[in-house]
Amino acid sequence: MNTAAKLSAYGAVLALVAGGAWAAGSAVGPFAAEAAQSGHDGTSGAEGAGHGDDHGGTVAETARNDQPAGLASSRGGYTLTPTDTTLTTGTDSFSFRILGPDGAAVTAFDVEHDKRMHLIAVRRDTSNFRHVHPEMASDGTWTVPLSLPDAGSYRVFADFKPTGGEGVTLGVDVNAAGAFEPRSYEPSRVAEVDGYQVRLDGDLVPGKASSVRLSVSKDGVPVTDLQPYLAAYGHLVALREGDLAYLHVHPEGAPGDGRTPAGPEIAFVAEVPSAGGYRLFLDFQHNGVVRTAEFTVDTGGDHAEEPHAEETEHGHG
Ligand SMILES: [Cu+2]
């Protein structure tokens, strides 16, 4: 009944994003487009006030954030500072520090999903996605090999939880010199990678917790022996086209919990903050190799459901 409850364990990062929107926009609904859609007769304000109820559970603990993650290099007192913002195509490494509220490099981080630091790099046109795990030196400098195949401007996200603080994702741009061809992506719900096919089912409805399912097969045969990778059968990162707002989503259920199968389907609950195009990147592991499947979805228009249609029934009931 309360979709927000489903977010509690595995969608914590995403819930932070979504909860902020609910809290900040409680009078008019999670986002402006939804309010506009539901308010055909100009009563969007009243209707919006009505559907604060079904999101109540997570607002209190998530009200601190009012922006999607990854859009800023500094947030909540923490700052991502790259050692060098120019990288070389081919073999190179990336190093950085996280500065804390006192201006000093942070050296204490909690383990989340098996790692103390998750680093995502993607060119700003959303090509060349990388998800890697840096190592920290004792002075707080993180370093990771980062091979960028093509020139261009890249967004680098550091996803971490400082000990004693809140989880945060900071983003910064780095550049690899040279000419490049920008890429664009048509909507696609089927990914092919190394002989694997991954299908995306379910629609991301802006402003609502939405179930999406990813099904993995190899040469047409469903894969039922996915291997845990970073304590889950899949890791899903969604990036909003245009500004690369960052959503890190985790599956419903975990390996070894007695109810979550090792494929072929991986179920996620995700909430995107606004209508528009999103690029989705699924990391999954099979036969000892981690692969990434990419999808492109457009949450505007055709797929959007009429929001909260059933709630109009009990306005005066
Ligand atoms: Cu990671």
Q: Which of 118, 149, 176 is the last residue of a domain?
A: 176
> Which tokens is 210 given?
């939405």
Ligand 1 midpoint to CA 158 (Å): 9
pLDDT, one tens digit for every residue, the chain (317 residues): 444 433 333 333 333 333 333 333 333 333 333 333 333 333 333 333 333 333 333 433 344 456 899 999 999 999 999 999 999 998 789 999 999 999 999 999 999 989 999 999 999 999 999 999 999 999 999 999 998 999 999 999 999 999 999 999 999 999 999 999 999 999 999 999 999 999 999 999 998 889 999 999 999 999 999 999 988 999 999 999 999 999 878 788 889 998 899 999 999 999 898 999 999 999 999 999 999 999 999 997 554 444 443 433 343 43
Ligand 1 midpoint to CA 289 (Å): 15
DSSP state of 310: G
- CATH number, position 194: 2.60.40.1930
Please check whether residue 312 lies inside any domain of the structure. Answer: no
Please check whether residue 310 lies inside any domain of the structure. Answer: no
Please give the tally of structural domains in the chain.
Answer: 3
- Predicted confidence at residue 52, as pLDDT, reads 37
Q: Which of 49, 66, 83 is the last residue of a domain?
A: 66
> Which tokens is 286 given?
């099979």
Ligand 1 midpoint to CA 118 (Å): 4
Please check whether residue 137 lies inside any domain of the structure. Answer: yes
> Which tokens is 8 given?
């509690």
Ligand 1 midpoint to CA 166 (Å): 17
Q: Which of 47, 66, 85 is the last residue of a domain?
A: 66
On whether both 153 and 222 belong to a single domain, the answer is no
Q: Which domain holds residue 20?
A: 3-66
**Angle (nearest 5°) at CA 126 between 173 and 288:** 105
Ligand 1 midpoint to CA 101 (Å): 24
Please check whether residue 182 lies inside any domain of the structure. Answer: no
On whether both 94 and 135 belong to a single domain, the answer is yes
- Predicted confidence at residue 133, as pLDDT, reads 96
Ligand 1 midpoint to CA 198 (Å): 20
What is the CB neighbour count within 10 angstroms for residue 184? 10
Q: What CA dihedral angle connects 73, 134, 62 and 205, to 10 degrees?
A: 90
- Predicted confidence at residue 99, as pLDDT, reads 98
- Predicted confidence at residue 65, as pLDDT, reads 52
On whether both 96 and 171 belong to a single domain, the answer is yes
- Residue 167 CB partners (closer than 8 Å, separation 6+): 12, 13, 16, 112, 159, 160, 161
Ligand 1 midpoint to CA 159 (Å): 8
- Predicted confidence at residue 314, as pLDDT, reads 42
Ligand 1 midpoint to CA 124 (Å): 19
Ligand 1 midpoint to CA 296 (Å): 21
Per the CB < 8 A criterion, the answer to whether 268 and 280 are in contact is no
